[in-house]
Structure 1
C-alpha cells in the first residue's frame, strides 16, 4: 500500500474509521473497553477487514458508562488487555489515515494507554469529520455525530458501540466529500489546512486535554526514483521493423524463424506484412509454441499459427515513456508489448528483456493503474502519485521539460480513461454506443506535452457527422458532461475558461470544426481569438485518432495560409505587462510572481504563432523553437534564450506546485520568490527581461 501524501485526493485515501468506547470522558483517566475500526478505500467502505475488539481495562467500568455503551465488567473479563489490542490496531491501521468523529479524544486516550503500558507512541495522520463538517457547512447548529448523520442522510446503527460509531463516521466522511469538493477542498493536505483554521474548535480540544484532532500537513517522505525509466521512450528501445508472418504459417516455420532471428515472438496477420493498423495483428511467443508442443506433441509443428495467436494485441505508443511499458507488462502479466505509431499502425515490439535493466533499479513509482482504473476514485489514486514522482525527478535533475511531458502523459491517460468509463456508463444505462466515429482531443499544455501539476481540463470532441443540437451532438454532449465530472472527481478540475467538450464551443462534427477554423482566421480583433490558439496544440488521445490528426493538419494549413491570423495571435503578446517594479524588483502579489503570465505565455505564444505562420507542424514549444532555428528564423541567441528560459520556468513552477500541493495550498502558476535561491532569482530576472521584447521579436520574424 502506497503511503498517502498531502496531494492524495480525499476520495482516494486508504484510511480507517476509528472509534473507542471507554470507562469515562476524562481522556487523562479513561481506559479503553472497546475498539472499532473499518477500512475505507477507493471512495467506499470496505466490507473487510474490520476490527471489533473488547478490551479489559484493568479497572472496574463505572455503571454510568455501561449505561451508555452497554459494555459491562463481565463482558470484558476474559478479553485481552490493551497491549494485545494495541498490536492488532497498529497492524490494522499501518499505512492508513485515521478518521473519526472528535478523533482528538480517541487519540488522547490511546496515547495515555500506550504510556501506561510503556509502549512507543507516534501520532498518526488523522482527519476529524466534526471539523470537516464545519468546513463544509459553517452554518450548522450542531456537529454531533447524530446531527451530522441526520444532515447527510446517514443511518446510524449500533450507536455508542465502537464499530457502530466508526461506521457512522466513515459514512459521514464519504458523504462530506462532494460538499468539500464544492469548496475547493480535494486533497488530504487541503483538508488538514482547512481544519487547522478552525482555531476555536482546536482550542476547545486542547482545553479538554485531547490530542489535536488534526496536524499540519507533513512533508512527503523522499523516495528514490530510477530516472532511466522516465528519460527513455519506447520508440528508442523497441525492436523494429516488426517481424510478421502470415496466419497460415506453420509452427515449424515460426520456430525456425525465431531461432534464426534470435527473437522470442512474431506478429501474425492475414497479409503477413508490417505497417497495418494494430488491430490486424496477433502475436505468437516462444511460450505459446512450447505450450502447443506440450499439448499436441509432433502434431504441433504442422499447426497454423493463426490458430494460437493472442488477440487483441496489448500495445503502447512509440512516444510513451519506459515506465508505462513496465507498468503495463506488470499489470497484464505479459512479457511482450506491441508498439504502435501515433496513427495506430504497428511500429515494433518491446520485450521484458529490453526493460530488464530498469526492473533492477529503484522504484518506478508510476505504473499503469490509470489504464485499468474502474472508477473515479481509482483514477484519483493513480493521479495523486504525480507530485511525489515529480519531487524525485527534480531531485535527480531531470530536465523539467521531460517532467512536464510525463505529467502530460498521465493527464492524457486519465482523460482517456475517463472517456472510456463515461462511454461504458452510457451503454450500461441504455444510451447506446457512439452514434458515429469520433475522437477525443486534449488541448493546450496537455497537447503540447507541457502540463504542470496545476493541470485542469482542456479537451474537445470531434465526431464524423451531425448537426449542432442533433442526435449525434446530444449524445456527445452527454459524454462530454460525464467525462468532465469523472475528471473533476479524479482530481483534474473543471476548466475555468470552459474549454471542455461538454460545452458546445468545444464539441462538433469534423465539418463544423473546419468551419470554425475558417471563421477564426477571418477575424479582425485579437480578443476574438480567446481560447482559439490552444486548439492548434491539439493531440488526439482516444477514438478515431486519424480524424484528429487530419484536423490538426487542416488547422495548420488554414492558419498558415492567412498571414493576418498569425499577426492577430502575435498581437496578444502586447498584453504581457511588466513583471518589474520601478526600481527593478519583482512585481509581487502576496509574495508571489505569476510565471505563466510573465514567462510561459510569451514563450509559448511566440513559438506557436511563428510555427503557424511558417507552417512548422509541431506541438511542443521546444520542438517548434528548434525547428524555427533550423529554418533560420530568428537569431540563434534569441531562440536559444527562449529554450533555456522555458526549461527554467517549468522547473521553478514544478517545484513550487509540488511544495504547495503537499502543504495543502492549491497549485497555481505563481512562485514564492523569497524561496528561490539568489542564482534562481537572477536567472529568472534575466529571462523575464528578455521576454519583454517577445512582441517585437514576433513582428520582426512574421515574414522572415
Structure 2
C-alpha cells in the first residue's frame, strides 16, 4: 500500500470508500448502526476488499430510521458496540484516505460517538464526493447522491446500505478524479485546498452541525530544502534491518574455507573469532568482507587461499547498537567509509550485522549528515550546526505523517548524542589542560524528557555524572566538577541551554560517586514533604550516554528497587500529578497567556509525573511514558480505560507542541511549550479540550493506582 502524501494523485490513490447508517439525522444525538467500506487500490475499485458491520447503538432505533435503512433493534441485538466496531474499521482502513458522500455528517456523528465512549477522536484524512462534485460541476441543480451518480453514469446498488453507499461513493470518486484532473485539480493536496474555498457549502454544513469533511495535516512550508525521501530510517531501529544471528568462523581457517562458507550462506561478510564463539563481546571479533577477499586475491594470487582468514580480516570492529535508529547506522558507515557494521546489544555482545545493501533504497542524506556532524564535531560551533538541523528533520517528518512520539525519540537520541560528544570534547580539553584522564570509571547520564525518549525542540540541559569512587570534595570529585563544567559549556554553546532548575552535573548535587548517589537515593526515599522532592523525579528517567555503562546500570537498579519499596516515596512523587491545574475557565475557554496555552503545565507534566510515580511504585523500569502506561495497564485492578485515554492525550499534546515549535522556529519566535490557540481550528480545539479533560481525571485514579 502506497504511503499517502500531499502529492498523491487522485487517479492513483489508495483509499476506502466509506458510509455509515444512523438512528437519525440530528448529529447531536444520532447513533451509528452500521459501518461499511470498500477498498480502492491505485484508483481502482477492489471488490474483494470490503468491510461491513452492524453496530449496537445502545438505544432503540426509531421506526422512521428503520424505514430508510431497514435496520431494526432485532438486527443489531447481538452486534458489538461502537468502540469495538470503530476499532475494527480503523484496523481495516490502515491509514488510507477515506472517500464518501456528505462525510461531514458521518464525521460529526462519529466524533460524538467517540466522545460518549471515551475515545480521542482523530478524523481520518478524507475527501467528500459531494464537495468534489461542486468543484467539477458548480451548476449541477441537485447534489444528492442519486443525482450525482446519474450525472456521472454510476450505477446505484444497495441504496441506504452502508456498504452499498460506500461502493457508490467510491465509484463516483473514480470518475470525478479524471474530471478534476482536467480542471487542474490533480493531487490530494490540490483537492483539499480547492474544497476549503467552498465557503458557502461549508457554512451550510456548519449550520447543520456537520464537521468539515477534510483535514490537511500541518504543513508550514518550512525547511522545504530538506527532503527526507523514505522515513523508514526514522521509523525503524537497527534491529529491524540487521541479519541475526551473526555468522562466525574461526580465525585460523584458511581463506578458501571462509569463502566457501560465505558462498553457501550467501552472505557478504563473516565474523572471525579465535575460538569460533558466537556469543562473545564485540571486541573479540574481526570481520572479513567480500572486498577483503578480492584485495587479498589481487595482491597475493592463489597463495592467499591458504592463508588464515584472520590475517586478512579487519579489527577492531565498527559497531552500532540494536536500539539505534537506522539513520545513525548509515551515518557511521559514511563516516568510517565502510559497508558493514557489527550490531551489539546494550552489554556489547555481538548480535548481528547490517550492510550498505540493507539501506540501498533509503534516502536519508540530510539526517545522516546531521548525525555525521555530531559524531565528528571538533568544536561546539560544529555541534551547534548539527543541532540546528534537527528542527528541520522534525518538521519534515511531521509533514510525512510520523507521530510526534516517534519524532521525539529521534530528537532525544540526537540530544543524547550531542551530550555524549560534548563530554568527549570536555575530556579532550581536560587532557590538553593538564588535568589528565578521568581518575576512575564514570557514566554521563541524561535525565528528564531526553532520558525518557520524549524530548521536543524546547530542550535544555538535564544531566548528571556517577563515578566509581571518590568522596565529595575529593580529587576525583574535583576532576569531574571541572569536566562537567566543560561539558555543560559545550552544550550551551551548541544551542542546548543551561537548565534553569540547575539539574546539571556541574552542580555538586548532580554528580557523585556510586556510594554518594546511593546515599542520596536513601535520603530521597526517606523524605516526607512534597516540597522536598523538587527535581528528584526526573532522576528516575536517567539514560547512560557516555563512559562506562556499569555505574549507570548499578545506580538505576538500586534507585528503582529502593523506590518500589517505599509507598510513601511514590506518593510524594505523585503529588504533582494529583494537583492538576484546570486548563479551561468557567465558561469553557482555554486558560491562555497572550493567546497561548502552556501544554506542558496543563497536560504533559501531570501525565509524565503520574506514569513515573506509578512505574516506580510497581517496580516498572521502562523509560518512556507510553511504555510505562502500557506496562501499568497489564497489572491487576488498574484503571485501564482511564490510563489508555491519558496515553492518547499524551500523544496528542506532544503533537500539538511539536507542530507549534517547528512553526515558531521558522518565524524566529523563541521555542517553548506554549501553543497558539488561534492556530487551531474548531475540531483541533475540541480534540485538545477532550485530551485535557482526560488529564483532569488523573487525580481520581492515581491514589488507587499507587496503592492497590
TM-score by length of 2: 0.67
- 1:321 and 1:552 mapped to 2: Cα distance? 24
2:332 to 290, 308, 328: 328
- 1:317 corresponding residue in structure 2: 321
Structure 2 counterparts to residues 227-376 of structure 1, below 5 A? 227-359=231-363, 366-376=370-380
1:25 matched to which residue of 2? none
- Tell me by how many angstroms 1:560 deviates: 0.4
> Does 2:551 align with 1:547?
yes
What does the per-residue CA deviation read over 1:186-232, in whole Å, with 9 as the maximum and x for residues that have no partner? xxxxxxxxxxxxxxxxxxxxxxxxxxxxxxx9954353322111111
1:643 and 2:647 matched: yes
Q: Which residue of 2 aligns with 1:455?
A: 459
Q: 1:156-555 maps to which residues of 2 (within 5 A)?
A: 219-221=222-224, 223-225=226-228, 226-359=230-363, 366-555=370-559
What is aligned with 2:611?
A: 607
* Matches of 1:656 and 1:609, distance apart in 2: 29
Q: Distance in 2 between matches of 1:608 and 1:271?
A: 45
Secondary structure of the 2:605 match is helix
User: 8 Å contact 1:244–1:266 — kept in the other structure?
Assistant: yes
Q: Answer yes or no: is the 8 Å Cα contact 1:556–1:617 preserved in 2.
A: yes
- The alignment status of 1:703 with 2:698, answered yes or no, reads no
Shift of 1:363: 7.9
1:145-165 Cα offsets, whole Å, 9 max, x none, are xxxxxxxxxxxxxxxxxxxxx
Q: Structure 2 vs 1, CA of residues 313 and 262 (structure 1 numbering), >3 Å: closer, same or farther? A: same
- Note the alpha carbon deviations across 1:591-620, whole angstroms, 9 max, x for none: 111111111111111111111111111001
Displacement, 1:241? Answer: 1.1
Note if contact 1:365-1:385 (Cα within 8 Å) is conserved in structure 2: no
Q: Secondary structure at the match of 1:619?
A: coil
> Which runs of 5 or more residues in structure 2 are unaligned?
1-219
> Which residue among 624, 628, 632 is the counterpart of 2:632?
628
Q: Is the 8 A contact 1:365 1:389 kept in 2?
A: no
The answer on whether the counterparts of 2:639 and 2:705 sit within 8 Å (CA) in structure 1 is: no
Distance 2:475 2:243 in 1: 45
Partner of 2:353: helix, strand, or coil? strand
**Do the aligned residues in 2 keep the contact of 1:629 with 1:636 (CA within 8 Å)?**
yes
Quick check: 1:692 aligned with 2:696? yes
Give the superposition deviation at 1:577: 1.5
Structure 1 gap ranges (5+) = 1-216
Q: Tell me if the contact between 2:577 and 2:607 (Cα under 8 Å) persists in the aligned partners.
A: no
Q: Does 1:683 align with 2:687?
A: yes
Q: Conserved in 1, the CA contact under 8 Å of 2:574 and 2:610?
A: yes
Q: Does 1:594 align with 2:587?
A: no
Q: Give the Å deviation of 1:487.
A: 0.5
**How many residues are paired up?**
488
1:99 aligns to what?
A: none
1:696 to partner: Cα distance: 2.5
Distance 2:391 2:637 in 1: 37
Cα distance, 1:403–1:612 mapped onto 2, change above 3 Å = same
TM-score, normalising length: structure 1: 0.67
Q: Residue 639 of structure 2 contacts residue 701 of structure 2 at CA under 8 Å; is this kept in 1?
A: no
Q: Note if contact 1:326-1:367 (Cα within 8 Å) is conserved in structure 2.
A: no
Structure 1 residues 304-313 or 499-508, which shifts more?
304-313
Q: RMSD of the alignment, in Å?
A: 1.8
Secondary structure of 2:401 counterpart = coil
Q: Secondary structure at the match of 1:542?
A: strand
Please name the residue that 1:151 is paired with. none
Give CA-to-partner distance per residue, 1:115-165, whole Å, 9 cap, x none.
xxxxxxxxxxxxxxxxxxxxxxxxxxxxxxxxxxxxxxxxxxxxxxxxxxx
Residue of structure 1 equivalent to 2:580: 576
Residue deviations 1:421-467 (CA, integer Å, cap 9, x gap): 11112112221111111111111101100000011111111110111
Contact 1:595 1:653 in 2 (8 A): yes
The CA deviation string for residues 361-408 of structure 1, in whole angstroms up to 9 with x for no partner, is 998664422111111111111111111111111111111100000000
From 632, 639, 661, the counterpart of 2:665: 661
Q: Secondary structure at the match of 1:349?
A: strand
Q: Hey, what's the Cα distance between the residues in 2 that align with 1:573 and 1:411?
A: 26
Partner of 1:50: none
CA contact 1:603–1:691 (8 Å) conserved in 2: yes
Secondary structure in 2 matching 1:474 = helix
Q: Quick one: distance in 1 between partners of 2:485 and 2:253?
A: 48
